[in-house]
Amino acid sequence: MIFGGPQSANDRENDEAPGIRTELDFIPKILESETPYLGICLGAQILAKVLGANVGPHPDGCIEAGYYEVEPTPEGAQYLDRSMMFYQWHREGFELPPGATLLARGELFANQAFRYGCNAYGLQFHPEVLEPNIRRWSSRGTERLKAPGARPPQTHLDGFRKYDPDVDHWIRGFVSTIFDRVSTSIQVEAAD
């Protein structure tokens, strides 16, 4: 798993973000070995970049910070059975990589979740964050919250209290589903 962070998937040559270069170089090995991979926010953007997709800011300078609706695509219905509100905190998004399957979309940043092959998944949103994270981000990131598209700071914690039970239930089921798929894939290969 690779989680989010303030860096960019485009920081390969940025000496202040040497971990990005390492992750960009390591993900092809993960994909080749068919090891399960889950990228969240920056982790999804890095996966998309490795797979040949463009990663960058919204063309209108918008960001997502706060809760936003994410809806499943027909292909994603087995992972997300209805539209849900998820916490977001990013200024960059990604194009759908060649060969990937779009699982969920959003209004402001269209590509919200994708699968590549059977074992690699990218989520633009943050189902893993807890109240202390949201409290810290929304209180320390006040400049970011002035950007177009950002939700007002007071709505972040209110949203957590309202949506987290559903998100918590979803992420537990999602992780179980993807590991079941991986386990089945490995068992099929072993039988061959």
SS3 of residue 146 by DSSP: helix
Find the catalytic residue in 23, 90, 92, 126.
Answer: 126
Q: Which phi and psi (to 5°) does residue 86 adopt?
A: -125, 150
The active-site residue out of 34, 71, 95, 128 is 128
Q: Pull the structure tokens for residue 170.
A: 């979803």
Q: Answer whether 27's CB lies under 8 Å from 75's CB.
A: no
Task: Give the burial string for 12-47 (b: 16+ CB within 10 Å, else e).
Answer: eeeeebeebeebbeebeebbeeeebbbbbbbbbbbb
Q: Is 156 a catalytic residue?
A: no
Helix boundaries (H) for 9-130: 18-33, 42-50
Based on the residue annotation, tell me whether 95 is a catalytic residue of this protein. Answer: no
Residue of 41, 90, 92, 156 with catalytic role: 41
Helix axes 42-50, 18-33, angle to 10 degrees: 60
Instruction: Let me know if 118 is a catalytic residue.
Output: no
Catalytic residues: 41, 126, 128
